[in-house]
Structure 1
């Protein structure tokens, strides 16, 4: 209950951009006093279910008058298969969507979903905000993407799911905030199944090498994968990382926020989570 699925909201100027929509994304937005209907732009790193299962909630709930009543189509950018996935979701919820449209006098444009398959490069640019997609390495999900958001000389980079990746290092250099995934297991664990999972993600020691080369103003761990019953306390993610990386690092929490300027400031969750 303390850690829902992957979802990162980037607010830049008038733009509100959601990256991934894992379990509970709409609920966490609501806790931040942001209605799902305020979100009409979603960028997917890849199509694993833990990054997409919250899409119907953000999309369909956001069309309701009690949840923001989105007035524009719900746009989704992501890897090959995104367009087909959104079309199939519209088909899956066809009866619900048509029923809602019949009960409303005015058009419900917020119920329309538009999926777009992307390639590397600039995938969105408006109101001074630029979103750049770049390939990362998360087998067998190919392609998988990370994103860099640029705005007024500042930036945030979201790694998505990836193992140690040189392209991410290149794309992230000079960024203010680097939000990076991490995975860990007990040091004495030699389970082939767990080692296979670790091989698709980034360990704290590998992330340290990434951070040391990128040198962001702040590095943040998200998508925290703890295996073999490893607890947050026992994982020692920051300690393991700081053995190699000497910069500023935070282990992310749900509802934690960051303000990017000359410095990156951290705001702890202002809404209590269930203990």
Structure 2
């Protein structure tokens, strides 16, 4: 059996997605591992990180609110929201998170402004969303008595560097290369009590990600796998492929960084015959050309608990399996 390098796979509790966590643990849940393609099994990009009293969301793709509901986490309880870049599949869930998190229900009830960080354009987006939904906001304040404080935004356009430092949780933005015309694009490093999680964001292979993820407990990285035959028939796929990281390239990043566990999320794939599910065998085989360490192909609602080791849980709450 391949060495687990500090990774421990354990059985979870009876509740779906439940993983016991101590106050010093850092927990990560994949809310959306997919792309703009509307697939039932993989909503678009979103990741939840829980550390101490902090609940942080990275990207707000389609269905992120539904996944939080499945996890029994009130939308209004999210401490801060972070955006990697302004492609639609990373922000299309923002209006839902913002508006539904404000409603006076057990799954909403935000009582303070929605804290959000992202690249240049984030503040303007929140200002325009406020204008777009002004009638809904007006009606709900007048009709249902909701406080206007909970529907306000506390948005910040950020640059690479430390962007968040609360309750022992530090979030650092790193610049990544998602293509010449998609700037700025960011990845994030989350640190808590000596533990480190790195999220690559959307990127071509970038040594800055490998550097930031050196010795990380968890490296969550995007990947793209396009059938060569599609490139001939649909040239637009070439641009998509050129803005992402191939499995072989990701394998090299993993080998350089040597995280305790590498996880694929935001999995871009296209096949000649359309399929719903990620072609995992091919993805893993191509990654193994350059990386032999612990690897998991992420699925929606998969979770990870980091203490002095890493525990990985499948969406149904049982132990997750490492890729062969």
2:135 pairs with 1:95: yes
Match of 2:121 in 1: 81
Deviations 1:60-81 (A, max 9, x none): 1011122230111101100000
Higher mean C-alpha displacement, 191-200 vs 6-15: 191-200
* Secondary structure at 2:130 match in 1: helix
Deviations 1:89-148 (A, max 9, x none): 011001111211123446242211122100010000000000000000012210000000
Could you say if the C-alpha distance between residues 205 and 111 of structure 1 is closer, same or farther in structure 2, counting changes exceeding 3 Å? same
Could you say if the C-alpha distance between residues 41 and 234 of structure 1 is closer, same or farther in structure 2, counting changes exceeding 3 Å? closer
2:152 pairs with 1:112: yes
TM normalised by structure 1 equals 0.94
Match of 1:221 in 2: 264
- List gaps (5 residues or longer) in structure 2: 1-39, 318-324
Match of 2:238 in 1: 195
In structure 2, C-alpha distance between the alignment counterparts of 1:121 and 1:48, rounded to whole Å = 21
Match of 1:261 in 2: 307
1:166 to partner: Cα distance = 1.1
Could you say if the C-alpha distance between residues 187 and 263 of structure 1 is closer, same or farther in structure 2, counting changes exceeding 3 Å? farther
* Secondary structure at 1:103 match in 2: helix
Task: Determine if contact 1:226/1:235 at 8 Å carries over to the other structure.
Answer: no
Could you say if the C-alpha distance between residues 92 and 250 of structure 1 is closer, same or farther in structure 2, counting changes exceeding 3 Å? same
Deviations 1:221-242 (A, max 9, x none): 0001112346523761112111
Task: Determine if contact 2:102/2:150 at 8 Å carries over to the other structure.
Answer: yes
* One of 152, 156, 177 as aligned partner of 2:193: 152
Say which structure, 1 or 2, has more relative contact order (CA 8 Å, 6+ apart): 2
Task: Determine if contact 1:178/1:216 at 8 Å carries over to the other structure.
Answer: yes
In structure 1, C-alpha distance between the alignment counterparts of 2:213 and 2:159, rounded to whole Å = 18
* Secondary structure at 1:212 match in 2: helix
Match of 1:122 in 2: 162
- List gaps (5 residues or longer) in structure 1: none
* One of 196, 204, 211 as aligned partner of 1:170: 211
Could you say if the C-alpha distance between residues 96 and 175 of structure 1 is closer, same or farther in structure 2, counting changes exceeding 3 Å? same
In structure 2, C-alpha distance between the alignment counterparts of 1:130 and 1:251, rounded to whole Å = 26
Task: Determine if contact 1:36/1:68 at 8 Å carries over to the other structure.
Answer: yes
Match of 1:17 in 2: 56
* Secondary structure at 2:117 match in 1: strand
Match of 2:32 in 1: none
Q: How many residues align?
A: 271
1:152 to partner: Cα distance = 0.3
1:189 to partner: Cα distance = 4.9
TM normalised by structure 2 equals 0.80
In structure 2, C-alpha distance between the alignment counterparts of 1:234 and 1:120, rounded to whole Å = 33
Task: Determine if contact 2:280/2:297 at 8 Å carries over to the other structure.
Answer: no
Match of 1:209 in 2: 252
